[in-house]
A and B are shown apart, each in its own frame.
Chain A
């Protein structure tokens, strides 16, 4: 849900960014790059030929001379004019323009995905704000470039390309990249293109958020290791590295921190991403949870489940909190503890095992084989209001059928 809401903001920001980039970055950065690239290749070939004319026939590869990277201003006076500035006919204009257009589209895709990924990685839930800051920065840069001669240069390039005049490679590339960037921005705003754009942004944002979680986890692990904090896992529950992963994460995002914030919270300890299938089966048979706790009277819960990852728990938390708000409307004033029945999250978040038979572990006659439950999409839990943060923090939260 969070990714979808973010996607729409990202989409609009990315489209604006692309239009700006298509008209300015393509004009200056790409134009200069094309000129330099064409010149460098030509200089390299000429230098190699001058040093050893027969080298290529004999299969030798001579060292690159320093002059190969010389800028146009550093070339000897008798050096021919830059090929990047040489004239193109109609066919050349079309070919170079198409290459520029393809580059413009590629830049558009890259900027879209890159902005979503980096903004999510750096800013987490505030990613749309960060993406907006990036867009404003790019627009400012665009305005600066246009004001400082860029607009005249762009107008000149369009004039030469769309006329009978001969245009340079840089002119044609600039025009192609500009039109490609604008076409991408327009295509990404409507119909099927908009849907593809949303998918691209959602995937990139999700990847950024997951990377952010992974980094937060590593930092928390390192911090816990430095503090010499002991694992909270019970013996036989998995390797030590995973056990450290289950510790509270003081440097993690707010949502991740919320999972362990309440003094009675046990979401991650009993249902977190590193709880193993063996632990779930053990609880479903004996009633003993991964953290060693039991229910009243030693009863066995009907379902023993865990999230596939801590990131899945964080995603489920947003849906669960929305359900808390919905249920709260039906409860009396002053309510500080809310229990929610299973609510669908819209994606697979975990798996579990269903006990068959009695909740009494001593009633062996009624105990049957466990039923494995994969692809659980619903979440259930109990939440308490935190007056300090103003949030509803989970006491327990787990995947449910």
Chain B
């Protein structure tokens, strides 16, 4: 089984309870990862595309077979969580 690589999925996974990292360590690792231009552009572009795509399944973005980021009331709640968590790591013009 091969899954398509996802920057957003990998970034969220660092903060997931399944991964067992405290928030500070996970943030340090993501910042370290984003020093690579491929990651910076990749995460920005993928997240932007997901936010502009009305068909994005936000609940499965935060709750899937790899991790469950918590309890969410609906897709909007899940979407807001992702923006709140990953927004500080990408350029400010995006995090709106």
Query: Which residues of A does B touch, CB under 8 Å?
Result: 264, 266, 270, 289, 293-297, 299-303, 330-337, 339, 341, 358-360, 363, 380, 382, 384, 395-396, 398
Contact = CB atoms under 8 A, between A and B. Distances in A.
A301 B68 CA distance: 10
Contacts of A384: 29, 32
Main secondary structure of the interface of A (DSSP, over half): loop
25 contacts: A264-B29, A294-B22, A295-B21, A296-B15, A297-B70, A299-B70, A330-B2, A332-B5, A332-B38, A333-B38, A336-B33, A337-B33, A341-B66, A358-B71, A359-B17, A359-B68, A359-B70, A380-B18, A382-B19, A382-B29, A395-B21, A395-B25, A395-B29, A396-B19, A398-B20
Contact of B42 (A296, A330, A332): A332
A302 B17 contact: yes
Given A295-B22, A301-B18, A339-B14, A331 B5 contact: yes
A358 B72 CA distance: 12
B76 interface: no
B78 interface: no
A85 to B, nearest CB: 73
B77 interface: no
B22 A296 contact: yes
Contacts of B10: 331, 339
Interface string B50-71: 0000000000000000101011
Contacts of B68: 302, 359
A337 B14 contact: yes
* Residue from A300, A331, A332, A333 with most neighbouring chain B CB atoms (10 Å): A332
B93 interface: no
A335 B32 CA distance: 9
Contact of B21 (A297, A333, A334, A382): A382
Contacts of B18: 301-303, 380
Contact of B36 (A296, A335, A339, A396): A335
Contacts of A331: 5, 10
Q: Which 9 A-B pairs have the closest CB atoms?
A: A334-B36, A296-B23, A332-B38, A337-B33, A334-B38, A293-B22, A299-B17, A301-B17, A264-B25
Nearest to A398: B20
A270 B30 CA distance: 21
A190 B33 CA distance: 50
A210 B84 CA distance: 47
A332 B29 contact: no
Contacts of B32: 336-337, 384
Nearest to A385: B32
A26 B42 CA distance: 69
B26 interface: yes
B89 interface: no
Nearest to A297: B70
A337 B29 contact: yes
B96 interface: no
A91 to B, nearest CB: 71
Nearest to A294: B22
B60 to A, nearest CB: 17
Contacts of B36: 332-336
Contacts of B2: 330
B17 A334 contact: no
B39 A334 contact: yes
Nearest to A301: B17
Given A264-B29, A297-B70, A382-B14, A334 B37 contact: yes
A83 to B, nearest CB: 72
